[in-house]
C-alpha cells in the first residue's frame, strides 16, 4: 500500500469525539445506521434521510464473499455515496481477507474510519499505523469467537474497537448476550489505562438491546433493521436514542 496521506474532511472534530474517563465527559452516544439494511434502489435518499435525522455516522459493511459468506460493495460505489452526502462520517467495516490491499482505495472513496478484523492482520501494529498515515481514524474488530486478549496490546494504537455481537456476514440476526462481556472488559481496560478509543457494537441492536449495550460500555451503536424498518428512519433513530439515553441516566 502506497504511503500517500489524505486528510478526511470529517475524520475529526465534533463528528468523532474520543472517549474520556473523566467525570461528565463520556463520549456522546452515536447511532450509526447500517446501510446493509437500507433500500439500495434509493440509497442517496436514504443517506439524506439519515442526515436529516441527525445521524452523523453511517456504517458501511464491506464483504468479499470469502472472509464472510456474503458480497457487498467496493470503493467506486462508496465514492458515489460520499459524493452525494459528503458531510457524513463513513464508518467503513472491512470484512475482507486482505484489507490492506483495498484500504487506501476506500480512504480515497471517502471513508472517515476503517475498522479491520484482527483475524485478517498478519502484522497488526504496522497495518494500523499505515492506515493512520492515510489521514483517517482506524479501529480493530473482533468476531464472537475471538478473545479480547488478541487485541489488548493494540489498544494504544486505535480510535475504536468494534465488537461483533453476531457472526458477521448478514443483517437481521439476534444479539448474542455473552458478547456484552467483551464490551465490559474493553471498557474497563480503557478506563484503567486512560485510553481514548471508542467502543462500537454491531449486530442485533434494537430498542430492547441498545440499553444493554450502552450499560455495558458501548458508545457507538450500529443498527440496521432497527433504523430502516418500515421506512420510518427519523422515528426509529429517536426510539433507539431515547432507549439508550435512559440507560446512560441510570446510577
Each residue of 127-140: pLDDT tens digit?
Answer: 999 999 999 999 99
Domain boundaries, the chain: 25-249
Q: Which of 91, 127, 159, 202 is catalytic?
A: 202
Active site includes 61? Answer: yes
Architecture, CATH, for domain 25-249: Alpha-Beta Barrel (3.20)
Longest dimension (CA), the chain: 49
pLDDT at 160: 98
- How does pLDDT run across 83-116, given as a tens digit for each residue? 999 999 999 999 999 999 999 999 999 999 999 9
Q: What is the pLDDT of residues 155-178, one digit of tens each?
A: 999 999 999 999 987 777 899 999
For helices 75-84 and 99-108, the axis angle rounded to 10 degrees is 30
Is 127 one of the catalytic residues? Answer: no
Task: Share the mean pLDDT of the chain.
Answer: 91
Q: Out of 61, 91, 159, 187, which one is annotated catalytic?
A: 61
pTM of the predicted protein model: 0.92
- What integer pLDDT is reported at residue 132 of this predicted model? 96
Amino acid at each position: 500500500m502506497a504511503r500517500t496521506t489524505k486528510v478526511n474532511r470529517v475524520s475529526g472534530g465534533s463528528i468523532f469525539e474520543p472517549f474520556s474517563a473523566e467525570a461528565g465527559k463520556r463520549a456522546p452516544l452515536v447511532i450509526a445506521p447500517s446501510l446493509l439494511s437500507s433500500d439500495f434502489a434509493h440509497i442517496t435518499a436514504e443517506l439524506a434521510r439519515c442526515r436529516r435525522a441527525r445521524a452523523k455516522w453511517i456504517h458501511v459493511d464491506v464483504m468479499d464473499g470469502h472472509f464472510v459468506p456474503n458480497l457487498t460493495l467496493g470503493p467506486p460505489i462508496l465514492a458515489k455515496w460520499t459524493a452525494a452526502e459528503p458531510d457524513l462520517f463513513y464508518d467503513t467495516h472491512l470484512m475482507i481477507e486482505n484489507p490492506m490491499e483495498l484500504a487506501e482505495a476506500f480512504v480515497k472513496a471517502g471513508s472517515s474510519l476503517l475498522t479491520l478484523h484482527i483475524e485478517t492482520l498478519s502484522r497488526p501494529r504496522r497495518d494500523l499505523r499505515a492506515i493512520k498515515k492515510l489521514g483517517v481514524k482506524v479501529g480493530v474488530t473482533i468476531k464472537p469467537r475471538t478473545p479480547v486478549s488478541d487485541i489488548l496490546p493494540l489498544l494504544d494504537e486505535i480510535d475504536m474497537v468494534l465488537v461483533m455481537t453476531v457472526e458477521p456476514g448478514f443483517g437481521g440476526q439476534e444479539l448474542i448476550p455473552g458478547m456484552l462481556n467483551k464490551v465490559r472488559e474493553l471498557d474497563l481496560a480503557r478506563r484503567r489505562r486512560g485510553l481514548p478509543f471508542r467502543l462500537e457494537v454491531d449486530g442485533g441492536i434494537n430498542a430492547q438491546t441498545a440499553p444493554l449495550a450502552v450499560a455495558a460500555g458501548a458508545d457507538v451503536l450500529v443498527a440496521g433493521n432497527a433504523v430502516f424498518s418500515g421506512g420510518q428512519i427519523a422515528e426509529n433513530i429517536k426510539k433507539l436514542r431515547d432507549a439508550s439515553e435512559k440507560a446512560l441516566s441510570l446510577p
